[in-house]
Chain A
Amino acid sequence: MLGSLHMNPSDSGSFPRPATGPLAALPPELFSLLEGAAVQHLVTRNAALAPLSVLAFGVRVESDPRNVTVFVPARVAAFVLENLRDNGQMALTAVSPPDHLAVQIKGVWLGERRIDDDDRAFLLRYRDAVTQVLNVVGVPRSRWRQVAWSPTVALRMEVKESYVQTPGPGAGKPCQGAT
């Protein structure tokens, strides 16, 4: 049953799992968390190496499979952008609440981009999928819909590394190219 809750990227109008690059080594069930029904947090750090995380609203793989776009609520983007302009370092974790499947990607900021209609459609699908999956674990739909899904800022990221983060002996294991 839980498997059916992970949104299938091929049904979401998004890119399939890349054949090359750090995302290529992700198992399908973890790759699907990036664009699918998972709670996501983006972490950046300031010049003094103090980390800070904010809620993120989904990841889209770009045509160059090394790059992704991370969406964050505009209302909290100021926290993130200040750090990114300082050093560009960013990491994102995506966790599936019903089964704690989790993945982390790390990389560097490439800048912001404008949000288009495809993005808006993606964000609506993402919102509905997360609302559904959180409802499974007891979060009322009305609560999650209270989150300000728009406006949203699109942050481009070059993915350098990806990691398994599902709790267990394999947590933290690099999927490819990590050091």
Chain B
Amino acid sequence: MIALESISRCFEGIVPATLSTCSAAGIPNISSISHVQYVDARHVAVSRQFFNKTTRNILENPQASVTVWDPMTFEIYILTLRFVRSETSGATFERMATRIEAIASHTGMTGIFRLLAADVFEVLSIYHLTEHLNPPEASEGGDSVPDMSSAQAALPPDQRVELWVLQRISSRMNQAPDLEALLQEVLDSLNEDFGFTHAKVLLVDETGRRLFTVASRGYEESGVGSEVVFGEGLIGTVARDRRILRVNQMESGLRYGRAVRAAVASADTGTPLRPELPLPGLVDAQSHLILPLLVRGLLVGVLALESRNPAAFANWHEAFMGIVADQVAAGIERLAVSDAEDPVAAGRRARSASGPQEPPSPPVPAPRRTFVFYQNDDCVFVDGEYLIRNVPGRILWKLLKVHQETGRNEFTNRELRLDPGLGLPPLRDNLESRLILLRQRLAQKCPDVRLPSRGRGRFAIEIDSELVLTERASA
């Protein structure tokens, strides 16, 4: 029999798959299905969102067949199936539920469009149908065929050995002196070693109910500082459920979700529908692989990869990138909780500081920067433009005020942690990640104010402008 794993790219095809069943009375039934879930080498699962004729039929007569289309070749595979069981919990159910709930969230149907059960079927045989196709013609049509090769999209041609790239990213992370460097190394390695050109890391904020983007690669706008609420959209669903989510043929999935939404709306059930969420990141992304970053079962963040290739991520990527995600999570945890000065990093900085210096630039007039802190929502604006809020906003305001009042320009993480006014939680305060976010927002909006690191647990404030600080109760 053809190996199920080898045709898994057909399970999320552009042409809708069909599930055929037959009642005990001998009446056949056929319905389109959004996707087929690979379970193991002998089983697949089909999602059940609604009770219907298909459900009744498989309970009466377990024989079924699924027809799927290869999105690259348009060859057809007919899977002869026998219904085994319906699952309403467990790994298969939860994987399918996460995918469906993510689509539901994006199409404004959280709680309305949801998985009732994962119907698991044994695959008895696979028929590979090519009789419906003519031999390919050399230059008909004139339109290009999109690259849907997951292997090509995933790994550069000269770096296909999975262990090699794992070793490479592990080594790069291991050498990172601080969290900011670690995140840079992770994103660089994902791009250079793995071939994933669009990626971002989000970390959990102090509320424990939101994520904020702390680093990204491959986007015109970095998106650093953008927030995602747990449970909202693809990334929010992964954060809430703490499960890997892989979605290929994203547009197809959204179309299916929109069809349900339209049906719910026209049924006039009185069910309130929320507006569809904009997709984060690439507006034309066709594939997503989103991984929770977990340490001892606790979520520290999310690693989100996306691609314009509709089949960029294969089944095996979930396990493979799951290992990477565990490494990244452990690295974040290691570097985010330690305030101790790193002698290696300190030595490197000392050597760097004593190296050749660039000739001094001619003096330029210092710009004037007006910072406003709004007390009601801990929000900081610079020159009338939003800069940052919450904990990073309070940190920035403290630093600016201390610097203006005392002239101090060196600070430690420890003193920030001990300042009750900043509202850092006693455990897992993510201070390092807040400082990274703050640095990146300053670099984007106000590059003449900087917070360079002075070794692990220490940093400076450098200001090349004249500051005007104003504090207001509210906007």
- A interface residue numbers (CB < 8 A to B): 39, 41-45, 48-55, 73, 75-76, 87, 89-93, 95, 97-102, 104, 106, 134-135, 137-148, 163, 165-172
CA distance A55 to B136 in the complex (A): 19
B64 contact set on A, CB distance < 8 A: 51
Q: Which of B139-147, B171-179, B293-301, B443-451 contacts A (4 or more CB under 8 A)?
A: B139-147
Given A75-B131, A167-B260, A168-B263: A93 in contact with B28 (beta carbons within 8 A): no
CA distance A54 to B256 in the complex (A): 22
| A126 CB → nearest B CB, Å | 15
B74 in complex: contacting residue of A50, A91, A143, A167, CB < 8 Å: A143
| A132 CB → nearest B CB, Å | 12
Given A167-B256, A168-B260: A97 in contact with B61 (beta carbons within 8 A): no
State whether the Cβ of B80 lies closer than 8 Å to any Cβ in chain A. Answer: yes
Q: Please list the 6 inter-chain residue pairs (A to B) with the smallest Cβ-Cβ separation, ordered nearest first.
A: A168-B263, A142-B141, A100-B259, A51-B20, A75-B131, A172-B52
Known: A104-B31, A148-B134. 12 other contacts (CB 8 A): A43-B28, A45-B28, A51-B21, A51-B28, A53-B30, A54-B129, A75-B131, A99-B258, A100-B258, A138-B310, A142-B137, A167-B32
State whether the Cβ of B251 lies closer than 8 Å to any Cβ in chain A. Answer: yes
State whether the Cβ of B349 lies closer than 8 Å to any Cβ in chain A. Answer: no
Q: Are B74 and A39 in contact (CB under 8 A)?
A: no
CA distance A52 to B64 in the complex (A): 8
A146 in complex: contacting residue of B30, B49, B136, CB < 8 Å: B136
Interface string of B238-276 (1 = CB under 8 A from A): 000000000000011001101110111001010000000
B160 contact set on A, CB distance < 8 A: none
B20 contact set on A, CB distance < 8 A: 41, 43, 51-53
Main secondary structure of the interface of A (DSSP, over half): mixed
Q: Are B18 and A53 in contact (CB under 8 A)?
A: yes
B29 contact set on A, CB distance < 8 A: 43, 51, 91, 104, 106
Given A53-B65, A100-B256, A142-B141: A168 in contact with B50 (beta carbons within 8 A): yes
Given A101-B259, A137-B255: A172 in contact with B53 (beta carbons within 8 A): yes
Q: Are A95 and B16 in contact (CB under 8 A)?
A: yes
B27 in complex: contacting residue of A54, A106, A140, A168, CB < 8 Å: A106
CA distance A147 to B26 in the complex (A): 31
State whether the Cβ of B151 lies closer than 8 Å to any Cβ in chain A. Answer: no
B30 in complex: contacting residue of A91, A99, A138, A171, CB < 8 Å: A91
Given A89-B26, A102-B32, A167-B260: A139 in contact with B133 (beta carbons within 8 A): no
State whether the Cβ of B395 lies closer than 8 Å to any Cβ in chain A. Answer: no
Could you list 5 A-B pairs, sorted by A, with CB under 8 Å?
A: A49-B63, A76-B129, A97-B15, A146-B136, A168-B50
State whether the Cβ of B467 lies closer than 8 Å to any Cβ in chain A. Answer: no
A171 in complex: contacting residue of B16, B50, B131, CB < 8 Å: B50
State whether the Cβ of B24 lies closer than 8 Å to any Cβ in chain A. Answer: yes
The closest CB in chain B to the CB of A135 belongs to: B143
Q: Are A134 and B145 in contact (CB under 8 A)?
A: no
State whether the Cβ of B76 lies closer than 8 Å to any Cβ in chain A. Answer: yes
State whether the Cβ of B67 lies closer than 8 Å to any Cβ in chain A. Answer: yes
- B interface residue numbers (CB < 8 A to A): 14-16, 18, 20-22, 24, 26-32, 34, 49-50, 52-54, 61, 63-65, 67, 74, 76, 78, 80, 129, 131-134, 136-137, 140-146, 251-252, 255-256, 258-260, 262-264, 267, 269, 310
A87 contact set on B, CB distance < 8 A: 26
Given A76-B131, A141-B141: A50 in contact with B263 (beta carbons within 8 A): no
A54 contact set on B, CB distance < 8 A: 67, 129
The closest CB in chain A to the CB of B17 belongs to: A41
CA distance A100 to B256 in the complex (A): 6
A104 contact set on B, CB distance < 8 A: 29-31
| B152 CB → nearest A CB, Å | 17
Main secondary structure of the interface of B (DSSP, over half): mixed
Q: Are A147 and B34 in contact (CB under 8 A)?
A: no
CA distance A44 to B264 in the complex (A): 31
Q: Are B52 and A171 in contact (CB under 8 A)?
A: yes
| A130 CB → nearest B CB, Å | 10
CA distance A92 to B129 in the complex (A): 19
A39 contact set on B, CB distance < 8 A: 15-16
Given A50-B65, A53-B65, A73-B132: A170 in contact with B28 (beta carbons within 8 A): no
Given A48-B63, A51-B22: A41 in contact with B145 (beta carbons within 8 A): no
The closest CB in chain B to the CB of A75 belongs to: B131
| A52 CB → nearest B CB, Å | 6
| A89 CB → nearest B CB, Å | 6
B16 contact set on A, CB distance < 8 A: 39, 95, 97, 100
B259 in complex: contacting residue of A52, A55, A168, CB < 8 Å: A168
| A49 CB → nearest B CB, Å | 5
| A26 CB → nearest B CB, Å | 15
A100 contact set on B, CB distance < 8 A: 16, 32, 255-256, 258-259
Which of A42, A137, A163 has most B Cβ within 10 Å?
A: A137
CA distance A140 to B137 in the complex (A): 13
Q: Are A140 and B143 in contact (CB under 8 A)?
A: yes
B63 contact set on A, CB distance < 8 A: 48-51
CA distance A80 to B193 in the complex (A): 49
Which of B29, B61, B129, B310 has most A Cβ within 10 Å?
A: B29
CA distance A91 to B269 in the complex (A): 30
CA distance A135 to B141 in the complex (A): 11
Given A97-B15, A142-B141, A171-B50: A148 in contact with B132 (beta carbons within 8 A): yes
A138 contact set on B, CB distance < 8 A: 14, 146, 251, 310
| A90 CB → nearest B CB, Å | 7
B49 contact set on A, CB distance < 8 A: 167
